[in-house]
Structure 1
Amino acid sequence: MPTLEDQLKNPVWYSLQETHKKFAVTFNNVKFYNPEVCPFGAFYDTSTTKKAANSYAQTTDKFFFVSEAETPLIDDSTLFLEKKVEGCQMVLNTLAHVKITEEIVLLDEIFSDEIYNLVWLVMPGYYRKRTFEMGKYFGIFKSGKLVSVAGQRMQTNLFTEVSAVVTHPSYTRQGLAKQLIAHNTKEILKENKTPILHTNKGNPAIALYQKLGYTLTRDMNWWLYAKK
């Protein structure tokens, strides 16, 4: 059985192997999410990615390969690298105490469109209409409007990723994201899993995550490919 450390080195692969197996699409021993849910793929052998990427590209115009260090091989006659997002992985050490002053709501399917619109307003590119199905989402409302959200994305029996942490530009600097991350983290701990998250290198939010008790552990890069 793979250890937590094994899983964290290739989180997309193991998520699709375990908790998110129902979302898995496999080509040439490369695992992808159903593109309606999440446009991510993962691999262990770069020699398999060229053929697999061509097959997956028949189902979506753009997608990401997620890897710690390996560079996927691609058929450059059909696909091109639109960008490489240099990211990093963070893992909870010990959660800091955070005073919860806001009402935090567990969001159900009724709010899926509001979540989608808020995430795409603040952080376009990763979230899909059905990403909501990957885990729990929590939100904060102001005057009946969803203004801040944090959800759960990749997960296995051992870890769950905090993701889609966004706040409407009109409501930033009020500590909303901080409270949502802390709440989400506590919910993951209740399930005896390790909370993790991913972000871009140099993201100012890293300082917040560190104050909450998360520690930088490794690189985790997103390679965005698109059809020619």
Structure 2
Amino acid sequence: MNGSIHTGLDRPVWAALTTRQAHLGSGDKLARRYHPDVAPFAALASATPAAYRALHQLLLPHEQAVLQSLDPMGRVDTLQITHVGIVHQMVAKHQEAGSTDAQEVIQLSNVDAKDMLDLVRKTKPGPFGKRTGEMGNYIGIRDQGRLIAMAGERMRLDGYVEISAVCVDEDWRGRGLAGRLVKTLGRQIVQRGDTPFLHVFSDNLSAIGLYERLGFELRRTFHLTRIGHADPGSATAL
């Protein structure tokens, strides 16, 4: 595995926003963010005062963004900081491009946007906005016309594609639908020459167990931090 490519996984938001998903964000050489309707994530070229100032300028006073970092963030002037949690980054260790059980799995598109948002609101798999579907390929399963399960691609960087928004309506859980979608999506990613990876909160043990059974393994852990404009004198320390 190419070391420089693999290093991109240490800063996946920055790697995506400076390469394959630059068109979905804004910023400069110091700080970048996704458009708010696409994803809440932002990233810095490096944790310098200049980069934090650049990030501050990218945010409107009412807006917030999420940073992913290897270490906890400390105090930053002009920014309000809230620790969100710790996530596991898991990477597929088996890269098989063969067939899988894709029965009833359908391709989702703009015409499915309302149903996708409705399912996300019910199941709360993580951040999903009006334009998140533009980040990559989304697939799902319907039952009598109702969207009951979904999974898709979020961050895309050189050599890797993130699987995200894995969710199943509570009335259809326990039937292996999430696993079927992740396997189908993973094989499509591999067929295009990339490696699937994903992020999951460290306390979501059931999801971690599922992804391990599907061939994903822990690569490393990250801290998620929500940041926004701070009132004068209110910048917080973690």
Fold match (TM-score > 0.5): yes
Q: SS where residue 186 of structure 2 aligns?
A: helix
1:82-93 alignment, distance < 5 Å: 82-93=82-93
Distance (whole Å) between structure 2 residues aligned to residue 59 and residue 25 of structure 1: 17
Q: Which moved more, 1:15-24 or 1:26-35?
A: 26-35
Distance (whole Å) between structure 1 residues aligned to residue 172 and residue 21 of structure 2: 33
CA separation of 1:72 and 1:41: change in aligned 2, threshold 3 A: farther
Deviation of 1:46 (Å): 1.4
Q: Answer yes or no: is the 8 Å Cα contact 1:49–1:72 preserved in 2.
A: no
Deviation of 1:49 (Å): 4.1
Q: SS where residue 46 of structure 1 aligns?
A: coil
Q: Which moved more, 1:47-56 or 1:4-13?
A: 47-56
Q: Answer yes or no: is the 8 Å Cα contact 1:140–1:146 preserved in 2.
A: yes
Q: SS where residue 127 of structure 1 aligns?
A: coil
Deviation of 1:112 (Å): 1.2
- Among candidates 62, 83, 86, match of residue 64 of structure 2: 62
Q: 2:236 corresponds to which residue? A: none
- TM-superposition CA deviations, 1:121-151 (whole Å, max 9, x none): 2116511110100000000001110010000
Distance (whole Å) between structure 2 residues aligned to residue 217 and residue 9 of structure 1: 10
Distance (whole Å) between structure 2 residues aligned to residue 55 and residue 172 of structure 1: 43
Q: Which moved more, 1:28-37 or 1:180-189?
A: 28-37
Q: Answer yes or no: is the 8 Å Cα contact 1:150–1:163 preserved in 2.
A: yes
Distance (whole Å) between structure 2 residues aligned to residue 46 and residue 173 of structure 1: 43
Q: Answer yes or no: is the 8 Å Cα contact 1:122–1:166 preserved in 2.
A: yes
- TM-superposition CA deviations, 1:150-171 (whole Å, max 9, x none): 0000012310000000111111
Q: 1:183 corresponds to which residue? A: 184
Distance (whole Å) between structure 1 residues aligned to residue 166 and residue 32 of structure 2: 25
Distance (whole Å) between structure 2 residues aligned to residue 206 and residue 132 of structure 1: 24
Q: 1:46 corresponds to which residue? A: 47
CA separation of 1:101 and 1:183: change in aligned 2, threshold 3 A: closer
CA separation of 1:181 and 1:210: change in aligned 2, threshold 3 A: same
- Among candidates 218, 221, 225, match of residue 220 of structure 2: 218
Deviation of 1:83 (Å): 3.4
Distance (whole Å) between structure 2 residues aligned to residue 124 and residue 164 of structure 1: 5
Q: Answer yes or no: is the 8 Å Cα contact 2:138–2:150 preserved in 1.
A: yes
> 1:54 corresponds to which letter in structure 2?
H
Identity of aligned residues (%): 27
Q: Answer yes or no: is the 8 Å Cα contact 1:95–1:212 preserved in 2.
A: no
Count of aligned pairs:
226
TM-score, length-normalised on structure 2? 0.86
Deviation of 1:74 (Å): 3.0
Distance (whole Å) between structure 1 residues aligned to residue 210 and residue 216 of structure 2: 9
Q: Answer yes or no: is the 8 Å Cα contact 1:46–1:71 preserved in 2.
A: no
Distance (whole Å) between structure 1 residues aligned to residue 33 and residue 3 of structure 2: 19
Q: SS where residue 153 of structure 1 aligns?
A: strand
TM-score, length-normalised on structure 1? 0.90
Alignment gaps of 5+ in structure 1:
none
Distance (whole Å) between structure 2 residues aligned to residue 116 and residue 67 of structure 1: 28
> 1:91 corresponds to which letter in structure 2?
V
